[in-house]
Structure formats: C-alpha cells, structure tokens
Amino acid sequence: MSDRTASRLTRILTMLPWVIEHPGATVDEVCERFGYSRKELIRDLDLVFVCGLPGYGPGDLMVAYVEEDQVVVDTADYFARAPRLTAAEGLALLASGMTVMATGQGSDVLASAVDKLAAALVPDGYEILTVDLSAEHDLADRLRTAAAEGRVVEVVYTTLSRGDTAKRRIEPWTVFTSLGNWYVSAYCRESQGERIFRLDRIQRVDETDERFEPPASPPEPEVRYTPSEEDVTAVIRLQPTAFWVSDYYPVEIVSEEPDSRTVRFSAYDASVAAQLLVRLGAAASLLEGDQVRVAVDDLRSRMLERYSS
Amino acid sequence: MRNVLERVLNLLAYLLTVNRAVSAEEIRHTVAGYDRDNDQAFQRMFSRDKDLLRRLGIPLETTTSGALEIEYGYKIDPDAYRLPETDLSDQERAALWFAAQVVRIGGQPTGADAILKLGGSQLETGLEPFAANLGSEVDVLAELYTACAEHRMVTFRYGGSERLVAPHGLGHRRGHWYLVGSTERGIRVYRVDRLSALEQGDPDGFTRDPDIDVRRELDTQPWEAGSEEPVTASIRFSPDIAWWAERRLGREPLTRTELPDGSLEVSIEITNRAAFIGWVLGFTDQAEVVGPPELRRAVVHHITGAA
C-alpha cells in the first residue's frame, strides 16, 4: 500500500470534520489549513460525493462540493470528528512540544497547547512524560542571538581530548541539542571550516562588533561522526559489560562470539579511542591499532602519574 | 487509487454506523466496491483495506468465533474512532506544528498527520531550523507510552533477563529515554534503548501508585543510580576544567573547596561505584579521586586494567 493513499485518506478524514464544523469556509481557507491545492481539494470533494452508506442512492451518499467559492459538506455525520491520534503521533507531538519548552524557547501558547494535548491523551491527568535537556540557557540564548544577528563571537573552548583550552573566533549558525548535549554549529575562523562545538565546553562567550553574512541555508548539523580516510582505527574486543559501546558509537562489528564482541572503532583522533578504552578498563582489550595503543599508554601513564603521590 | 479510496470511505462509513460486528461476507455483499465473484480478489482487497485503516490508527476490532479463533466479525466503536475534544486554538496548533518540525525523535520529523487530525494549521513546509534530536525509536516509545496511559503491564528483556513491570512514565534525560515502573522489588528505571522483546498486557492491568513521581525518579546522576552502601567520595579537578566539572555535577556538592592553585575539590555521596568511576575517568588526567582510599585504589586498578 502506498504512502500516498494513506496520506490522501488522512487528509480527507480530517478535512471533512473541519468543514462540517465551519460552515461557509472558503476554498482558500481549507486549502491553506490542510495543505491542499485548489485542484486537489476539488478532486477529493468529487470523490467524497460518490461515497456513503449502503443503498448508495441520493439520500445515502455524502454531499460535498464547492459553491460560490465556499466548501459545502453535508450528510456525512459519521465523519463529523477526525480520527484519533495514533500512539506514535500523540507521543511524538507531545514530546516535541515538551522539548521546545525544555529548550527555554517555548511560548505561553505552546505551554498551554502541551497541557491541552496531554490532557486529551492521558485523561487521568498523571504526568507520564517528561523531557529534561539540562540546557545551558544563558550561553544558548547569547549564541542564538549572535547567529540571528550575524555577529562574530569569540569563545573560550576546551578540547577535552587534547586537554587544551583556546580562544576561537566563530560565526555561529545554529544552536541545537542532540542526544543529551547542546551544540552550536559554526564557521570557525581558526580552523577555516565548519565546526561543531559543545556548549558545555564553552567557558566564555564574548560578542564582537564584527558581522558576517549568514549562509542562506546552513547545512543541517550532524553530530554523528562520519568516518574519513585520515581517521585512526582500532580493533577492540568488548566483554559483555561493554557491549553498549556498539550501540552508542558508530562502530563496525567485526565478529560476534557468545561472550565477546569485536568491533572496529574509527575516530578523527587517537585520544578519543584511548579515552574510551581507559574508561572501559578490563571490559575491553585493544587487538589492533598502533596509534591508539600509543595514545592509551600515554593517557594511562599520565593518569597513573596523577595518582602516584 | 481512486477506487481504493472510494471503497475504504464506504467501508469506514458503514462500520461507523452499523453498530454491531459484521462478517467479511456481509461486508462483501453490502459495501460498494468489493468484488462479489472472485474470492481471492475480495480477500486481497479486504485485507489491504484493513491494513490501511489500521495504519491511520483507526480502531478496527476483530471478533473471533469458537476455539479456532477464526476472524469472524469486524467493528469500529465510533467513540474509539473519534479524536477526543482538545479545544486547541489555531495559535496553539501552529505552536505544536512548529515544535514537531524542529524536533527529531527517531530520525525524521513527524507531526503533519497529527496536526491534520487536530484540525490543521498553516502547513508551510519551509525548512525550520533543526533544534533537538531526542534519538530512540518512536514505535517503542509509543508502545510504552500507551502502556503507561492505559495501565497495561509490560514484559521485556533487559540486561539478560525477563522483566515484568507496571509502567508509570517515560522521560528523556541526558540523551536517553527512560522508563519508570514499579516491580515486585520496588521502583525501577530502565533505559528504553536497552530493552527488547516488549509485550504489553490488557488495559487496566494494574493500579497506579500515586506516590511515584516520574520526574523525581529520573533526576539522578549516574553515581546515584544504584543501591550500594553510600560512600562520600572526594574529587579534585584541575584548574582548567574546574568550571566545567562543576557544571557537570548538576547539583550542590556536600563540600566545595577552591585550592590556592585554582583546583577545585568537591565531595559527593555515591551509591553506584562503577558508574562513578566511569564518570570520573571521562575527565582523563584532569580529575583525581582523592578519597576514600579504597575508592581511589579502585580507580587506579581500573586504569591499570585498560586495554
């Protein structure tokens, strides 16, 4: 069954109740609200006109047509209400509304929409859905403003994998949250390319007087790391307690045994893999990857050094 | 497509008004558009139409007959079909539509059909700036959400064993979705992306415990998510990252001392040692567990075991 059939049926079953509830609605109003072109609307009304109840005589069929630019629907009482939301539709819409509220950008209108929707979906009034994004509201707001104004900002940013903190001048594009962290995508003047910065690692933001021309359509930011040829790779054997790594990171699964899993891990920097390996401890072992081996040894000795006193 | 749509509208109109369960044969000979001569052709059309209705979320119920559970009759309860009254204004619908466009749950933006059902909005499909990605599979979340709302018991596999849970709520925290539920052994929190083989029971399978507050259950840091004997851990963070570590603590520590060199020393109570060690190691050599000694030894032991 085609998606088109399903979406056309949805549109018919949602348009009819609205027209029934709003007698005198114009073609333009209906088109705008339901995303129809005039031609599509008339085509669907024609279709409704030949459908109805068994008998299928003049009194049994629905009435649906356009007269003097108004949409007329009659004898279709059984379609006077739209179908209810599926569980997935209800959940996705409610969670989306809550998410925007949690970003601190929600309006009073959205807050009341979320309350009404939740009340309709969960009649007994318990709060069964919560979204918490632990937002860096202040930083996010300032970067968003700078992005909207096309203002270059100077950030003090810590790259934890290298342990260094440096000033960078960036042209902020989009502030967003993904899988638990907040980010800003930007053009970085120091690295002369698009970069994504984690907001919780930005120590300071200073707006400058310099302006930039925001790109007409900045690329949709993608946090998921995409492999490239210059990456370092490591082959790692995971014990069951570390199997979550293969769900969490974009690894290639090399082989699978009952009590271990071997994966190929790629990263732009050996220190990323080294940090993971140190964190996993005895639950993982490095099978291949000389650069990563060096980085693990280095990281481990730096850490043990810290504990040596 | 036109034939399919006509037939399905006729079928739906019939089932919404007939007020009883009707058999496939009755439908075949009553509803316009079905093949009355060729059995196979009818079966094909009818099964397609049932799929289409169910896909839209229309509650097409099947009644069965006898011990063989042969599909016997079909009905749609008009009350279950109808969208409950939501009383949303046009502005409220537009705000929800905007939210649905900037938030991703399980990949694609969703919400267009939902907004249509709620009464439509100005459906501009211009690109809204992407604002949030909540990960996870929307289907699993939706199933759990229904189970919470309708008080259905659920069973699933988690951490290698079978669980039976009375689901009380879902929440998104630190990048993951969690299920909060009560079990025979008390309140438990599960990560949704780690559960599998989910099955749900019938509605009203349990009575909700009014004392379970989903938000409170989820407001725990990794080192608090456990039931080990509490221990007070002291950690020292290097000057460079002290500001960041303090943000990441997410709460007031028990004690907090700034040292002359700019380092920060805090103490917190932990009830999950493994999670705590994992969290501290994320700071690499910029953090150090100062005490108690056995916890410090456990960290060193963990580092030594690496790779």
> CA of B71 to nearest chain A CA: how many angstroms apart?
22
Judged by a CB distance cut-off of 8 A, whether residue B76 touches chain A is no
- pLDDT above 70: residue A33: yes
* Closest to A146 (Cα-Cα) out of A173, A115, A114: A173
- Give contacts of A127 with chain B, Cβ < 8 Å: 169, 213-215
Per-residue pLDDT band for B108 (boundaries 50, 70, 90) equals low
- Give contacts of B99 with chain A, Cβ < 8 Å: 93, 96-97, 99-100, 106, 110
Bridge partner list, A195: A186
Judged by a CB distance cut-off of 8 A, whether residue B135 touches chain A is yes
Of B85, B96, B250, the CB nearest to A93: B96
- pLDDT above 70: residue B50: yes
- Cα–Cα distance for residue pair B269/A148, rounded to 1 Å: 43
What's the whole-number mean pLDDT along residues B207-223? 83
**Start-to-end CA span in chain A (Å):** 69
How much is the pLDDT for B75? 92
Cβ of A47 and B8 within 8 Å?
no
Of B119, B214, B288, the CB nearest to A18: B119
Cβ of B130 and A296 within 8 Å?
no
Statement: A232-307 belongs to CATH 1.20.1260: no
DSSP string, B200-242: E--TT-S---TT--HHHHH---GGGSS-SPPEEEEEEE-GGGH
Domain A137-211: CATH architecture, name and number where available:
Roll (2.30)
User: Is pLDDT larger for residue A125 or for residue A203?
Assistant: A203
* Closest to A236 (Cα-Cα) out of A275, A192, A180: A275
Name the residue in chain A with its Cα closest to that of B214: A128
How much is the pLDDT for A224? 55
CA distances from B286 to A133, A158, A198, B245, B263 (A): 26, 12, 18, 10, 10
Q: Which CATH number fits domain B2-81: 1.10.10.10, 1.10.730.10, 2.60.120.380, 3.30.450.150?
A: 1.10.10.10
What's the whole-number mean pLDDT along residues A167-188? 84
- Give contacts of A265 with chain B, Cβ < 8 Å: none
Per-residue pLDDT band for A136 (boundaries 50, 70, 90) equals low
Per-residue pLDDT band for B100 (boundaries 50, 70, 90) equals confident
How much is the pLDDT for B248? 79
What's the whole-number mean pLDDT along residues B22-32? 92
How much is the pLDDT for B120? 84
> CA of A19 to nearest chain B CA: how many angstroms apart?
10
> CA of A150 to nearest chain B CA: how many angstroms apart?
15
Cβ of B103 and A293 within 8 Å?
no
Continuous segment of H or E residues that includes residue B73: strand B70-76
Which of B145, B146, B154, B240 best probes binding to A when mutated, by most A CB atoms within 10 angstroms? Answer: B145
Cβ of A158 and B103 within 8 Å?
no
Q: Which amino acid is at A209?
A: D
Token couple for A3: 């998606």
Name the residue in chain A with its Cα closest to that of B113: A10
Which of B103, B115, B215, B220 best probes binding to A when mutated, by most A CB atoms within 10 angstroms? Answer: B103
- Give contacts of A176 with chain B, Cβ < 8 Å: 129-133
- Give contacts of B9 with chain A, Cβ < 8 Å: 9, 12, 47-48, 51
- Give contacts of B131 with chain A, Cβ < 8 Å: 99-100, 103, 105, 175-177
- Give contacts of B145 with chain A, Cβ < 8 Å: 87, 90-91, 128-129
Q: B231-304: what fold? A: Alpha-Beta Plaits (3.30.70)
Domain A3-79: CATH architecture, name and number where available:
Orthogonal Bundle (1.10)
- pLDDT above 80: residue A104: no
Sequence spans of domains, chain B: 2-81, 90-133, 138-219, 231-304
Of A14, A175, A180, the CB nearest to B175: A180
Q: Where in chain A is the domain with CATH 3.30.70?
A: 232-307
pTM of the full structure: 0.72
Per-residue pLDDT band for B198 (boundaries 50, 70, 90) equals very high
Q: Where in chain A is the domain with CATH 2.30.30?
A: 137-211
Lowest mean pLDDT of A76-85, A222-231, B195-204, B235-244, name the range. A222-231
- pLDDT above 90: residue A27: yes
Domain boundaries B138-219, CATH class:
mainly beta
Angle at A252 between CA B197 and CA A163, to 5 degrees: 110
Of B52, B213, B306, the CB nearest to A5: B52
Cβ of B82 and A83 within 8 Å?
yes
Per-residue pLDDT band for B182 (boundaries 50, 70, 90) equals very high
Cβ of A158 and B83 within 8 Å?
no
How much is the pLDDT for A100? 85
- Cα–Cα distance for residue pair B287/A279, rounded to 1 Å: 13
What's the whole-number mean pLDDT along residues B243-253? 81
Name the residue in chain A with its Cα closest to that of B143: A87
Write the pLDDT tens digit of every residue in A139-163.
Answer: 888 888 888 888 999 998 877 656 6
Judged by a CB distance cut-off of 8 A, whether residue B196 touches chain A is no
Of A11, A85, A286, the CB nearest to B83: A85
User: Is pLDDT larger for residue A140 or for residue A297?
Assistant: A297
Name the residue in chain B with its Cα closest to that of A220: B130
Bridge partner list, A176: A183
- What's the mean pLDDT when you consider all of chain B? 85
Interchain CB contacts (distance < 8 Å): A and B: 363
What's the whole-number mean pLDDT along residues A105-130? 85
CA distances from A1 to A15, A86, A298, B48 (A): 22, 18, 58, 7
Cβ of A50 and B305 within 8 Å?
no
Give every CB contact of residue B280 below 8 A, 6+ residues apart in sequence. Answer: B235, B287, B289, B299
Q: Where in chain A is the domain with CATH 1.10.10?
A: 3-79
Give every CB contact of residue B249 below 8 A, 6+ residues apart in sequence. Answer: B221, B266, B268
Using CB atoms and an 8 Å cut-off, which of residues 92-121 of chain B contact chain A?
92-93, 95-96, 98-100, 102-103, 105, 110-121
- pLDDT above 60: residue B128: no
How much is the pLDDT for A126? 74
Cβ of B114 and A85 within 8 Å?
yes
**Start-to-end CA span in chain B (Å):** 60
Collapse the DSSP code of A34 into the 3-class scheme (helix H, G, I; strand E, B; otherwise coil) and give the result. Answer: helix
